[in-house]
Chain A
């Protein structure tokens, strides 16, 4: 496929990249732009490790064609701890023991981020639904759910 210029806003900065618009946003982020925080676990939209925010919505970057980002805001895990301090969601993940191997964590944090943007006080069922597209094999999700509930409390303050 012919390459095209794709322009979008990445973590608050304007970027212009020449790429195959049908290649995945995930490979654009990881292989071209060096943002390795977004993980790749299956390449089929089944594990959620590559979750990023596209105009505030959680999406699987492996399923989004790079060209789809044109003119939109893309937010990755790297944006959450800019300036060196942890985002309240990240703090809560650490404090609640929600991080084991950590491979699902960036995607899980981004799904939580999207949820708390749209629903600042989610119940346990909303939390479960919001992360149901993010597979974690280590944790049984319990401490992740506790962390997201705690993060909601932190963000309220």
Chain B
């Protein structure tokens, strides 16, 4: 049920106590006292540097480390053959910490050095001589699929890293019977998460085979398992401690595993802590952007606008190694099918190796890439049917209680309301001449339960402290998106306390419960629910202890307890009583949120998340027909993320996500020249500045979700999903012609304008 519709700056500010409450870490950040990875140093620390391949594809004939080893100040020099490490990966094992006999992209790691300072390490790199035998290379994924194309990995013939086909319903028949078939091909480049703090780490290898790694990660517990596996260590002897994180957006779920592994190997070899840090150029050239995608798509509709079927043939560009790209490709190929009622689906997706920068993940896992294709094609169909694109969407919207074509079980859902409100806010019925208008909608999974089908939920601990405050211990991660603040508000609500009385402890694998981490919009929905349950469990235990202390019945009153004889027992007294009684223990509560097991089957059919969030974005644009320059004048983002925990930070998520989506739509993207990244700088890659953005209006449709804590659902990833398509649809509307490629630079729009004039 839709309860309340809040506009930014009006009405409620979120959960009780949200107004005027700020996560304490904000003070450290705003005064410059917060310590990020780049700020860290340890006594005796060495600096590590990596020698990288200048060739996109070559055999390594010989690596001579002897001169580098003899340079004064050098403490360790490593090449692939000396490491004895097994191949590793995230979905499959196609990487080595250092290349063994072959390099596969410009930037591939060949050797690593640790020295007393950065200058010495860089000098040592120049003293390593490597004999390469260049091989022919392939940069275009379609060429990589051709017979006779050079193969990157012997285990993956035809350069197909991963492939999937999905067939639901009767797509072939639907296309035969359809009144209208529309089709087109859409292309998107690789996008980088673009966090402003470059990834860094300090590895401390210890005697007796331990490792402490200082680096900010969205999923430290999972990275710990991977590191232990590659380094041959016991998991419990590997500890990951996260400093404050300078932006993640999916790029720090696994961060840069190779950097962490090399720091650990160097530290082991040198017997000292080793710090390593990517330069900004390295972030772009060897960091892990999201896959580029080529999407051939076809839709079948009835004359009245009913969606009948969708067919897609998708190629995603993996680069040289795969990391999470198979999962990204899977989400990309499926998620948008569950936004509307589409009875038949036929999809093929192929993830293809090329001799380019390896890919990873970025906020929303490719959902936004396919959204551009799907939502653009819906506008095409609306045009052919002579139907309003808004009305065509509203006719086919998925709704509460529905099960989607892929088996997603929709609980709370205000999708049609999001669309209608976005259209109203942008002035859909009073569209001005000379401007273009576009709308797009999105669904995103809120709290994945199939990342690991046996481990679907989250846990948390709550502890009553001697000062009466409550500490929540969680394995979930805050990196500025507001998770800690949300957890404090959730716990405060469960305990009838003010959020300022809640401490949050996370970011250290030795202290916190195992968690999958900050991905798949898990934090508020799944992590927050565990916090709620832990706080409720603690409250019951505090109450029992209060009754024992008082020797009579008690009832909760505010954060304290009233005895039947009228005395008030405060948490401080209860904590002291319990501590003395147990010789030092504290009252604790445990929260275990275990979502129902999914019916997810071999074909990928079934529910994949505890719940789903929805959104619709709309915008108004203007094209300068002389220069091709695109101006986005106004942007409206309407979201159903259930009950809003903290309106101030929720607005911040939407503004930031829209800005990233506008970057994808208007200016960002990798440019390659013969496999080399041609724009490995902020100025070349062009993330938006303050001058590039329109006014952004946010609106939240508050549904009450049955799964999330007090009705809340995830927000952090979906904020970017409908943005690129909304802009593309507005540009297509302004031009009167379809748009097939992002980003929509002035150059690209000029070429389109020019091309159409010629064609006419």
Contact = CB atoms under 8 A, between A and B. Distances in A.
Contacts of A78: 31-32
Q: By CB atoms of chain A within 10 A, which of B27, B32, B648 has the most?
A: B32
A8 interface: no
Contacts of B193: 137
Contacts of B28: 102
A147 B26 CA distance: 14
B438 interface: no
Interface in B15-48: 22, 25-36, 38-39
Interface in A99-140: 99-106, 109, 127-129, 131-140
Contact of B682 (A42, A86, A95, A101): A42
B198 A94 contact: no
Interface string B276-295: 00011000000000000000
Interface in B575-594: none
Interface stretch (B201-209, B319-327, B685-693): B685-693
Contacts of B683: 44, 46
Contact of B690 (A47, A77, A132): A132
A65 interface: no
Interface string A45-89: 011010000000000000000000000000011101100001000
A44 B655 contact: no
B32 A76 contact: yes
Q: Which of A77, A80, A141, A143 has the most CB of B within 10 A?
A: A141
B112 to A, nearest CB: 21
Residue from A42, A76, A131, A138 having most chain B Cβ neighbours under 10 A: A138
A38 interface: yes
Q: Chain B CB within 10 Å — which of A39, A40, A80, A137 has the most? A: A137
B32 A106 contact: yes
A38 to B, nearest CB: 7
Contact of B30 (A43, A90, A139, A142): A90
Contacts of A106: 32
Nearest to B195: A137
Interface in B24-81: 25-36, 38-39
A140 B687 contact: no
A142 B26 contact: no
A2 B196 CA distance: 33
Nearest to A100: B480
B728 interface: no
A138 B247 contact: yes
B280 A43 contact: yes
Residue of A39, A80, A93, A131 ringed by the most chain B CB atoms within 10 A: A39
Contacts of A103: 36, 195-197, 246-247
Nearest to A96: B648
B247 A128 contact: no
Nearest to A35: B32
Interface in B650-695: 651-652, 655-660, 681-683, 687-691, 693
A95 B682 CA distance: 29
B649 interface: yes
B655 A102 contact: no
Contacts of B33: 37
> Considering residues B29, B36, B249, which has the most beta carbons from chain A within 10 angstroms of its beta carbon?
B29
A93 B22 CA distance: 11
Question: Which of A133, A136, A142 lies at the interface centre, i.e. has the most chain B CB atoms within 10 A of its CB?
Answer: A142
Contact of B652 (A47, A80, A90, A100): A100
A105 B35 CA distance: 13
Nearest to B691: A132
Contacts of B652: 97, 100, 138-139, 143
B262 interface: no
B725 interface: no
B656 A94 contact: no
B163 to A, nearest CB: 33
Contact of A104 (B26, B31, B196, B279): B196
A144 interface: yes
A41 B197 contact: yes
The interface size bin for chain B is: 35 or more
A140 B26 contact: no
B171 to A, nearest CB: 39
Interface string B218-255: 00000000000000000000000000111111000000
A41 B690 contact: no
Nearest to A143: B652
Contacts of A43: 279-280
Given A94-B22, A94-B26, A137-B247, A39 B197 contact: yes
B194 interface: yes
A41 B687 CA distance: 14
A40 to B, nearest CB: 6
Contacts of A93: 30
A46 B656 contact: no
A46 B30 contact: no
A15 B203 CA distance: 34
Contacts of B36: 39, 103
A102 B246 contact: yes
A103 B248 CA distance: 11
Nearest to B657: A140
A139 B659 contact: yes
A97 to B, nearest CB: 4
A15 to B, nearest CB: 18
A128 B27 CA distance: 24
A136 B194 CA distance: 9
Contacts of B368: none
Contact of B656 (A41, A134, A138): A138
Given A97-B651, A137-B195, A140-B696, A42 B681 contact: yes
Contacts of B688: 140
Nearest to A40: B38
B481 interface: yes
A36 interface: yes
A105 B690 contact: no
B655 A39 contact: no
A145 B260 CA distance: 37
Given A43-B280, A47-B682, A94-B26, A141 B246 contact: no
B655 A135 contact: no
A110 to B, nearest CB: 9
A120 B36 CA distance: 32
B600 interface: no
B88 interface: no
Contacts of B35: 36
Given A46-B681, A102-B480, A109 B30 contact: yes
Contacts of B481: 100, 138
Most buried by A among B33, B36, B197, B280: B197
Contact of B659 (A94, A104, A132, A141): A141
A138 B38 CA distance: 18
A99 B32 contact: no
A155 B38 CA distance: 33
Contacts of A128: 690-691
7 contacts: A46-B683, A90-B30, A95-B22, A102-B246, A134-B690, A137-B195, A142-B696
Q: What 3 pairs between A and B have smallest CB-CB spacing? A: A37-B32, A102-B29, A103-B246
Given A37-B31, A39-B246, A128-B691, 16 more contacts: A39-B196, A46-B682, A94-B22, A97-B651, A100-B656, A101-B195, A101-B196, A101-B197, A102-B480, A103-B247, A106-B32, A127-B690, A138-B247, A140-B688, A141-B690, A144-B690
